[in-house]
Amino acid sequence: MDRGALVKTIVIVIVLIISLIAFQGPTAERPYVVFPLLPPLLAIVLAIATRQVLPALFAGIWVGALMVAGYNPIMATTQTLQWIIENATDSWNATILIFDFIIGAFVGVLYASGSMHALARIISRKVKSARGSSFIGWLLGVLIFFDDYTNTIVVGNTARPLTDRTRVSRELLSYIVDSTAAPVAGLALVSTWIGYEVGLIKNSFQSLAEEAAKGEIAFAPDISPYAAWLSSVPFRFYSILAIILVLLVVLTRRHFGPMLPAEHRAVSTGKVLRDGAKPLMPTETVLGEPRTKKQTPAWVFVVSVFLLVFVTLLAMWYTGA
């Protein structure tokens, strides 16, 4: 997005917000309900404008805290820091962070060993088309279902050498990885995502049971949290349609919108990245170049990922987490 278009977008968003507030008008029964939209909207606009996600998120949190603190900037800053500390020290959040750090280190070792590239070369002997390499990316995304963050890290790093060789744009690869990460983890019968959701449902059921015991509500749900989650699966339209749509795009190679010129560029020129593109995390800069002189065989990668999936699922079953 160029600077002119960005400025126009920001102006339009601000005008719409002011118009909605002016049109709605607060009442005693109904105060402003547009204000809660400002923190996420501000975070999105700043992230697009600055290409810096963390400062944008911090700004959005601070604006939300400003509303909670009665528009006192000092109290808002204190509240923001308190929220960050509480969430960072929460046992569940800390577990997720540690898990992702370990997964990142795991992928870094496999990447540096060269086993990822060895596997990509073996697959490339059989798969020589953009359709085939894209389908491999989709298939890996479906198979690595137990954690969406792990899915993104493993599938992205595994499929990238293969899709680069077959002239698949990074834009399409990003779409494939993104649409087979959270959607797949959100439908899998066992995943860290589902564990978190079931935990939230359990807490809600406990609150409802306490309210029912006090007579505040007529009855509490008489169903297990996991069964409640399972009954919601047929209504997870985004997850279901996202997985199906990306498969249709991969198989038909029918592109539209900004994806069409991106794929045309990659196919016609071999440039998987557009001119002037600045990846947020260049792999070669972060992880270095993979080993080439004495490369680890591909089976090391396959066995390592299999053990990762097996041990993770076994641990989740054993601990009930």
Encode pLDDT of 257-276 as tens digits. 889 999 999 999 988 888 87
Q: In the predicted model, is pLDDT for residue 18 greater than 70? A: no
Of 261, 266, 260, give the one whose Cα is nearest residue 165: 266
Distance between CA atoms of residues 147 and 125, nearest Å? 30
Name the residue with higher pLDDT: 177 or 89. Answer: 177
Do 180 and 155 contact (CB within 8 A), yes or no? yes
Distance between CA atoms of residues 16 and 20, nearest Å? 6
| Model pLDDT, residue 281 | 58
Do 289 and 114 contact (CB within 8 A), yes or no? no
| Model pLDDT, residue 28 | 46
Name the residue with higher pLDDT: 293 or 47. Answer: 47
Q: In the predicted model, is pLDDT for residue 208 greater than 60? A: yes
* Residue 289 φ then ψ, to 5°: -80, 140
Angle at 53 between CA 195 and CA 9, to 5 degrees: 120
Exposed/middle/buried for 200, CB within 10 Å: 0-12, 13-18, 19+?
Answer: exposed
User: For residue 221, what are its two tokens?
Assistant: 């749900």
pTM, whole model, 2 decimals? 0.67
Write the DSSP string, 213-251.
HTTSSS----S-HHHHHHHHGGG-HHHHHHHHHHHHHHH
Stretch among 30-44, 63-77, 150-164, 167-181 having the lowest mean pLDDT: 30-44
Q: In the predicted model, is pLDDT for residue 137 greater than 50? A: yes
Strands (E), the chain: none
Distance between CA atoms of residues 43 and 177, nearest Å? 23
Distance between CA atoms of residues 67 and 25, nearest Å? 17
Q: In the predicted model, is pLDDT for residue 96 greater than 80? A: no
